[in-house]
């Protein structure tokens, strides 16, 4: 490798990028690492309006899919120099809700070479908070509000500590379709939208008001548009108040329809969704008793960038999540250490043939090992199913929806009958590889069921495509008849899922 090539690769590794595939817009941002900080170099916004193509049956229209694919295609040339590990793409509410999201993701995979992660509402909220906190430091406890096209995220936190996360199904695009679809603007339409938003906000209102806060920060397009109207021709920027919102509401009602909107400070591109946005902000301020909202230009995409920088500096979010759960559910550290040593040994023996090319597979296996006894505190006889439920419902910071689904499935199927993972939808992960991961996990747990370390007596594994040939020390196995019997049962379970396990002795 020439010095110039090395220098080029070093420069590329210093660049980080994030793409937020939102319900209304796609947001791309590029940054450079300077020492331990990020320097934003470039950002782009694409008005895709995915959510307008989501029908009442939660199916995304072909037109909306093609708009999204066209945008991703146009991004390819400007992102081709980025390392895959340094460019994270996250999708939010519309692809969370769309029943045919796999169709969009499959087409995208053909034209866009980077993985697209669909993240949960709570994960979205956490990353929004990270973006605001990193670029807008404060010691006060803050309420962060982000109104997107399909959902609204509400977060309370103080510095690095989060106290509450919520993702509400209220957004400027979805509410425009529901309450302003005729392009007319009236007081009754506003009242309906405000009332509906308040009903959704009531689910969190009491808890949030009890937590309290000293600062209110709004971010993303709706808050930005309102902030620009409020501060049109203002030399000193002022926050948004409820009184100002009511003035804007009356201005919009006076316009009577979307085509006639001409409010100073409002960009024409926001005309179609501004009425719904104003209604949602009014509902938030009244339901949560907010006095005023200041604006921050940083949001989800900057949070994604910041987390990438943290992970590069070995402050891994997923590992912190696992450590927290391990502590909270009193997991037996000695046992997980034993199972982990078996799992790592078996994984290293099979990886060459089974080809777990993505690092996430090994990480999912080790995470499942760490959390396989998470349900024991609830019920020791059915702990695997309790563990599956906990992991499918918990807020797992750092894990996207597909990774969380895989982790829950692995833990839930660590013993007894195996439920086929093909019943789930997969995009980034392959079900046939998840099944092989499960075989490793189940065998590791089975061999350590007596909770006695026998690392020097682990079986030697010979692997072909769908076959595991295990060679055991005969004396060691004869001394453990319960394991011998369990291996026979395991053979019967795995063969039903096209994995043949044979056992020989030395």
pLDDT tens digit sequence for 160-196:
899 999 999 999 999 999 999 989 999 999 999 999 9
* pLDDT < 70 positions in the chain: 1-12, 312-315, 452-457
According to DSSP, the β-strands at 161-168 and 15-21 are unpaired
Q: How far apart are CA 405 and CA 399, in angstroms?
A: 9
Instruction: Tell me the whole-structure pTM to 2 decimals.
Output: 0.84
Q: How far apart are CA 383 and CA 405, in angstroms?
A: 17
Cα dist. 495→437, 440, 443, 500 in Å? Answer: 15, 14, 14, 5
pLDDT (0 to 100) of residue 10: 45
Q: Which residues of 414-448 are buried (b: 16+ CB within 10 A; e: fewer)?
A: bbeebeebeeeebbbbebbbbbbbbbbbbbbbbbb
Per CATH, the architecture of 3-118 is what? 2-Layer Sandwich (3.30)
- 436 and 423 Cβ atoms separated by less than 8 Å: no
Q: How far apart are CA 423 and CA 442, in angstroms?
A: 20
Q: Pull the structure tokens for residue 114.
A: 């980077």
pLDDT (0 to 100) of residue 377: 83
pLDDT (0 to 100) of residue 235: 84
Q: Is 329 exposed, middle or buried (0-12, 13-18, 19+ CB in 10 A)?
A: middle
pLDDT (0 to 100) of residue 274: 96
Answer whether CATH 3.30.420.150 is correct for domain 137-297.
yes
Cα dist. 329→190, 323, 346, 367, 504 in Å? Answer: 47, 10, 27, 14, 38
Tell me, rounded to whole angstroms, the distance of Cα 157 from its chain centroid: 19
Q: Pull the structure tokens for residue 13.
A: 């590794």
Give the residue from 208, 171, 212 showing the smallest Cα distance to 287: 208
Measured at the alpha carbon of residue 329, what is the angle toward residues 327 and 330, in degrees to the nearest 5?
A: 65
Domain 316-505 CATH superfamily: Hypothetical protein af1432 (1.10.3210.10)
pLDDT (0 to 100) of residue 313: 62
Q: Mean of the per-residue pLDDT values for the chain?
A: 90
For 33, the enclosing helix (H) or strand (E) is strand 25-34
| Domain edges within the chain | 3-118, 137-297, 316-505
Query: Could you report the per-residue pLDDT of 288-326, keeping only the tens digit for each?
Result: 999 999 999 989 999 998 888 877 665 578 888 999 999
Q: Residue 158 in 3-state DSSP? A: strand
Cα dist. 433→244, 439, 466 in Å? Answer: 56, 10, 11
pLDDT (0 to 100) of residue 467: 87
- 477 and 483 Cβ atoms separated by less than 8 Å: yes
Same fold: 137-297 with 316-505: no
**Using only C-alpha atoms, what is the Rg of the chain?**
26
């Amino acid at each position: 490798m020439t010095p110039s090539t090395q220098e080029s690769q070093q420069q590329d590794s210093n660049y980080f990028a994030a793409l937020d595939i939102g319900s209304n817009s796609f947001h791309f941002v590029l940054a450079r690492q300077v020492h331990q900080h990020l320097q934003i170099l470039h950002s782009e916004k694409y008005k895709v309006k995915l959510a307008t193509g989501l029908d009442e049956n939660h199916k995304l229209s072909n037109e909306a899919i093609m708009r999204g694919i066209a945008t991703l295609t146009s991004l390819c040339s400007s992102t081709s120099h980025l390392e895959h590990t340094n460019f994270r793409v996250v999708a939010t509410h519309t692809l969370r809700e769309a029943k045919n999201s796999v169709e969009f993701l499959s087409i995208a995979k053909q034209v866009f070479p980077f993985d697209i992660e669909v993240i949960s509402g709570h994960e979205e909220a956490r990353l929004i908070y990270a973006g605001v906190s990193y670029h807008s430091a404060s010691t006060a406890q803050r309420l962060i509000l982000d109104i997107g096209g399909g959902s609204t995220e509400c977060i309370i936190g103080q510095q690095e500590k989060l106290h509450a996360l919520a993702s509400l199904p209220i957004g400027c695009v979805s509410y425009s379709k529901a309450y302003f679809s005729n392009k007319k603007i009236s007081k009754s339409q506003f009242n309906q939208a405000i009332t509906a938003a308040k009903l959704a906000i009531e689910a969190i209102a009491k808890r949030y008001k009890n937590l309290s806060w000293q600062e209110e920060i709004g971010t993303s397009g709706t808050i930005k548009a309102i902030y620009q109207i409020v501060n049109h021709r203002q030399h000193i920027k002022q926050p948004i108040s409820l009184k100002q919102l009511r003035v804007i509401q009356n201005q919009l009602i006076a316009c009577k329809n979307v085509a006639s909107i001409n409010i100073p400070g409002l960009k024409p591109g926001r005309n179609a969704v501004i009425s719904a946005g104003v209604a949602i902000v009014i509902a938030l301020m009244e339901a949560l008793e907010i006095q005023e909202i200041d604006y921050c230009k940083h949001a989800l995409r900057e949070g994604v960038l910041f987390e990438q920088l943290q992970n590069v500096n070995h402050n891994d979010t997923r590992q912190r999540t696992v450590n927290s759960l391990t502590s909270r559910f009193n997991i037996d550290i000695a046992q997980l250490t034993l199972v982990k040593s078996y799992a790592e040994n078996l994984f290293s023996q099979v990886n060459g043939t089974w080809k777990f090319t993505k690092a996430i597979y090994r990480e999912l296996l080790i995470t499942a090992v760490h959390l396989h006894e998470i349900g024991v505190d609830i019920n020791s006889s059915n702990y695997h199913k309790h563990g599956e439920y906990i992991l499918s419902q918990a807020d797992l910071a750092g894990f996207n929806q597909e990774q969380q689904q895989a982790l829950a499935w692995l833990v839930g199927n660590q013993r007894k009958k195996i439920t086929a993972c093909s019943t789930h939808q997969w995009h980034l992960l392959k079900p046939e590889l998840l099944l092989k991961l499960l075989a490793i996990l189940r065998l590791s747990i089975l061999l350590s069921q007596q909770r006695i370390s026998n690392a020097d007596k682990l079986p030697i594994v010979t692997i072909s495509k769908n076959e595991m040939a295990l060679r055991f020390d005969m004396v060691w196995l004869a001394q453990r008849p319960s394991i011998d019997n369990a291996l026979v049962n395991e053979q019967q379970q795995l063969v039903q899922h096209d994995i043949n396990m044979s056992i020989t002795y030395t």
